[in-house]
Amino acid sequence: MTEKLRIKICGMRDRDNVADVAALHPDFMGFIFYPPSPRNCIGIDPEIISQLPAGIEPVAVTVNAPAADLLSIADRYGIRTMQLHGEESPDTCAWLKAKGLKIIKAIPIHGKESMELISRYERVADMLLLDTAAASKGGSGKKFDWNLLDEADITTDFLLSGGIGPDDTSAIALLRHPHLIGIDINSRFESRPGYKDIELLSRFLKPLKQYSPNMNRLTNLLNNKTTDLLSVYFTAGYPALDSTVGIINALCKNGVDMIEVGIPFSDPMADGVVIQNSGTVALRNGMTLSLLLDQVKEAREDNPDTPFIAMGYINPIMQMGAENFFRRAKESGIDGVIIPDLPFDIYMSEYKALSDRYDLPMIMLITPETSEERIRLIDENCEGFIYMVSAASTTGARDRFNEEQLGYFRRINDMNLKHQRLIGFGISNKVTYDEACRYSSGAIIGSQFIKCLASNPTPEAAVADLLTKISRQ
């Protein structure tokens, strides 16, 4: 599923409040036609609904209403989508569909056994809505166990409902199901029954509107672009503690394909002098892994599409706890992870499961000294791309690749690996950038960009300087 998360806001009836909610541009707006509800819309002016902006689909929410009443609601209010919240049978759903109505069937969930009810409606409903089972009709304002979705065999697109509130953004971002297409929200965003708190809704929806269920941005990029990729590395917290967001914004604005955010560490054994020094400055500035993830999360709000990759040594990740790191990285909008000193056997035994669970591809490094057997093992068991280290030495900018390095690039190409490769270490100018793109899917630039950050007054100027050096403007 690659489309944006669809948003349904339910339970309005006041004309001005409806207009204010519509200004937030949800995909659906639900109007409840059920007399016991304090949000009941029976008798409201049909113009409140008919004047919704184009692109917002009105939905009539009903509970065990006679079929004739549903047809009457459809005609009077111009609503063609019915959300059925009672014990309406599959035959009733099929009959209404035959009358030209679109059906969303609500399924009450109170445990694993509830999932069996879903199969009865999958062939007759256009969409399902999974809501928490309640003693009374309508929503309960409480969540069911979302972990049930992990093993749910659902083949119809569905909306998630039930107790979703302002603090659930991160939890929603962790959900994975091929048929989850959106969420339904109601009572937890109200100042009083039937009146939505627009400011609260706006804050909640801003990051979610950039989120696509089941899509990893890195995977999506690699599926759609196979040449001339540019990945840029920088150390979070350099040159200043609060530089991270501005640097990411500048890179995204200028069309960099992916961004590697470096986790500063006191003993970076594979890094050259430039990156080592940037890490020392970042640590002195007060950068931590937790703060880095907070800053990335802030940057993600305004940059919904560019893949972000967290790159750092294993020690800070172990200090945070691997599970906690992967969870927070996913919540922050990270799309992949590079841990240069992670042994492959430890990846297979401990980290691969986390990578799969959180849909965060682990990018592995190979060097000219990596055996063909190990390279093929990496190609078979890892996701994302393969990071081709251009030389068996530390990072650092070089003017050109030597013949031995070019031979290494050709040798890897001849292996016909299934994963794309990007070449890093030593990319500094048009010559090395073009050669990296010639022999792989693209280039990774680190040291040269950090030099640009040091010699330019703003992130925007540093990015422009880098792109000029590699003639990519």
Helix (H, G, I), strand (E, B) or coil at 244: helix
Exposure on the CB side of residue 404, measured as CA atoms within 13 A: 6
* Residue 442: other Cβ atoms inside 10 A: 24
Task: Please spell the DSSP secondary structure of 113-147, one letter per residue.
Answer: GGHHHHHHHTTT-SEEEEEE--SSSS--S----GG
- Evaluate the CA torsion angle 107, 177, 225, 463 in order and state its sign: positive
* Residue 433: other Cβ atoms inside 10 A: 22
Cβ proximity of 147 and 174 under 8 Å:
no
The DSSP call for residue 205 is H
Q: How many residues does the chain have?
A: 473
d(Cα 234, Cα 209) in Å, to the nearest integer?
27
Cα distances (angstroms) measured from residue 371 to each of 20, 80, 376, 417: 62, 62, 9, 14
Under the phi-then-psi rule, with left for phi > 0, alpha for psi from -120 to 50, and beta for the rest, what region is 159? beta
Residue with tokens 């089941």: 214
- Active-site amino acid positions: 260, 271
The token duo for 218 is 């890195």
d(Cα 281, Cα 438) in Å, to the nearest integer?
35
Under the phi-then-psi rule, with left for phi > 0, alpha for psi from -120 to 50, and beta for the rest, what region is 125? beta
The token duo for 289 is 């892994």
Cβ proximity of 85 and 137 under 8 Å:
yes
